[in-house]
Structure 1
């Protein structure tokens, strides 16, 4: 089903056959700012009601602050509602924050945070459809074409994201190479054998690949690579430039959050290459002061907070990501861009809070 229209279409009573006919449309990606804000407000109201009605923790949290979902009259009213973070996810492990019965959950995925009670994320069939659509949108925005081969560098679990990449690649008639290799030498062999056009990798894995190619005296031009999608950690401009030069490719930033969707929350667009465009029709972003929790205006650096707008199994209202960044006006799309701080700059901002 259409990940962009199902939530709204179902409220209008459209039948299943018509929803299938809309399956490949993605009109919200390029909608106007006014249209986007209208969709966000309607979906945000739905998400608050869904969480309040079906998750006791949210119900109690809202009541404790004297709030009801109907109190959201405009997007700015979201700032009145409470945050959620990894501590709450771990405390209510594994299923207490789920908003649907177990028989509606078709996928479970752990957020491997190193703890014994790593948060578990659930997906309904529609959640999975949304994930597939947003990853396909991200790959398309990065220049993926039908027939391209994709490879997750460092192994299928390198980014904890292969499931979503598989779903999105299939939507675009791309193929995800199913083999995994943890050692750089084995990765080079697979790249030479399968000749993928696009890599999904961390900066450190790409750097190791460049070093291994040089060690084996294999020219980057011997590969078919044209693009690398970099995640999950941000990558400095200097390192991106080095990787592009050594590997003969372009790089784009891929953004996901394990507790929400990884990847699929945002993508740097090929035509502008000026930062991650957030898919705001499914995730509403805020920037807050990491100490006080006070919302900050666009253009200010602070902690990134995201609210899911269409998630059924595990709605997230004002999830504190821990990422440090700022929101900038949209360029390639009407949706805003996210610029994240890297390295010492982000660490300093967190410690100063």
Structure 2
């Protein structure tokens, strides 16, 4: 009898990690007769769901690209042919930010698919060490982005007291979380730092509050040491990083016992990590692009979806973990005079300086060669000239690359409630 457990075989460049392929086979059996997107994508392939017994068997299927999804929704507006069921079977709509492609993706869920997303969060709560006494605060307005919608509904469904923070100024949110003694804050790393900046102005000691945990998501930062340390210091609380995508769902979460690494929710996803150039699996310890297959979101399934996110595989107690969290994106790399840089690498240096409130990376493409500069917003009483020199030297020493660092006036750089956009291209 063939086992339901599977793994990435060593001879394919991976490391042994068990996967249960039965949910994948069940999903294929359900969607292939109904989902026109995958019927077209797999046209000409002889697909027998029962033939998928090992993770390596998935390589017989082509990757799904974001460009495929954009084209699908463009050609069959507004939702594309990715819907497995009739439109009347769906109950939720969310959309991506559109920051990487310029065109947001609209993503629908049936009640069953939505429950699958909520279960991802429900499975995450004990991993992060939550207790029944915790109170969640969500300091942002709920819009069309998936954001923490799933976290809010999952937490309230699990019996936690959930405090919504929409329709408030940031200062009012600070007062609100203190008044209600929130213990868990869900937000982006950027917004956690922005609230800390406001708290300093308002003479509010966040470290003395009831907050003991910040669950951060939506952008890099939770696993960037300098950013993480700054948040934890000012809040007096532990940071837990979380990773997910609107079109995929909540994917991975930081464990109590393994800081600065993300654990894949293996009951809900199959994961491959490939070399972006060769498309072959990477070996343990190597950085590669994360490819995901969601197993419970049959209403809008994604099979072998190239996320564009870079991770480093790390086995831990028979689980898949991504050491250091999300390390960057394949489409975020900046090419400057023969140097390849990721924005997260620059943030890791800039955030070491407590005198820097906010920063922005500017890439100027107007000349024959692209130029990069970093704008930093210092605290009101910082020595701007000396600070710019120190930051520039630290970037040069760390990244072996000279960059022009400029100080701007306090309050000039934008603040972000949701996903920050700190890279500006001038063309």
Number of residue pairs the alignment of both structures matches: 315
Deviations 1:10-36 (A, max 9, x none): xxxxxxxxxxxxxxxxxxxxxxxx995
Instruction: Report if the CA contact (8 A) 1:196-1:224 is conserved.
Output: yes
Q: How many Å apart are 1:179 and its aligned residue?
A: 2.8
Instruction: Report if the CA contact (8 A) 1:269-1:277 is conserved.
Output: yes
Confirm whether residue 240 of structure 1 aligns to residue 222 of structure 2. no
Which of 92, 104, 110 lines up with 1:107 in the alignment? 92
Instruction: Report if the CA contact (8 A) 2:313-2:322 is conserved.
Output: yes
Q: How many Å apart are 1:68 and its aligned residue?
A: 4.6
Confirm whether residue 57 of structure 1 aligns to residue 37 of structure 2. yes
> TM (normalized to structure 2)?
0.67
TM-aligned CA distance change 1:230 to 1:194, over 3 Å: same
TM-aligned CA distance change 1:69 to 1:63, over 3 Å: farther
In structure 2, what is the Cα distance between the partners aligned to 1:343 and 1:210? Answer: 25
In structure 1, what is the Cα distance between the partners aligned to 2:144 and 2:198? Answer: 18
TM-aligned CA distance change 1:78 to 1:193, over 3 Å: same
In structure 1, what is the Cα distance between the partners aligned to 2:67 and 2:281? Answer: 21
Deviations 1:263-320 (A, max 9, x none): x321111233241111111111111122332222333211111001222201110111
TM-aligned CA distance change 1:341 to 1:137, over 3 Å: closer
Which of 185, 199, 208 lines up with 1:199 in the alignment? 185
In structure 1, what is the Cα distance between the partners aligned to 2:46 and 2:115? Answer: 35
Instruction: Report if the CA contact (8 A) 1:52-1:59 is conserved.
Output: yes
Instruction: Report if the CA contact (8 A) 1:147-1:173 is conserved.
Output: no
Instruction: Report if the CA contact (8 A) 1:287-1:298 is conserved.
Output: no
Gaps of 5+ in 1: 1-7, 9-33
In structure 2, what is the Cα distance between the partners aligned to 1:222 and 1:158? Answer: 34
Q: How many Å apart are 1:71 and its aligned residue?
A: 4.2
> Aligned to 1:233, what secondary structure does the other structure show?
coil
Higher relative CO (CA 8 A, sep ≥ 6), structure 1 or 2? 1
Aligned to 1:5: none
Instruction: Report if the CA contact (8 A) 2:243-2:253 is conserved.
Output: yes
Confirm whether residue 268 of structure 1 aligns to residue 254 of structure 2. yes
In structure 1, what is the Cα distance between the partners aligned to 2:287 and 2:214? Answer: 27
Aligned to 1:43: 23
> Aligned to 1:118, what secondary structure does the other structure show?
coil
TM-aligned CA distance change 1:299 to 1:52, over 3 Å: farther
Q: How many Å apart are 1:330 and its aligned residue?
A: 2.3
Deviations 1:156-206 (A, max 9, x none): 349732320122102321122123256432222222222210011111111
Aligned to 1:29: none
Structure 2 counterparts to residues 93-132 of structure 1, below 5 A: 93=73, 94-113=79-98, 118-132=104-118
Confirm whether residue 306 of structure 1 aligns to residue 292 of structure 2. yes
Confirm whether residue 336 of structure 1 aligns to residue 316 of structure 2. no
RMSD (Å) for aligned C-alpha atoms: 2.9
Instruction: Report if the CA contact (8 A) 1:62-1:68 is conserved.
Output: no
Gaps of 5+ in 2: 5-15, 74-78, 342-427
Greater Cα offset, 62-71 or 266-275: 62-71
Aligned to 1:178: 164
> TM (normalized to structure 1)?
0.80
Return the index of the structure with the highest Cα Rg: 2
In structure 2, what is the Cα distance between the partners aligned to 1:83 and 1:182? Answer: 42
Instruction: Report if the CA contact (8 A) 2:215-2:242 is conserved.
Output: yes
More helix by share: 1
Greater Cα offset, 108-117 or 229-238: 108-117
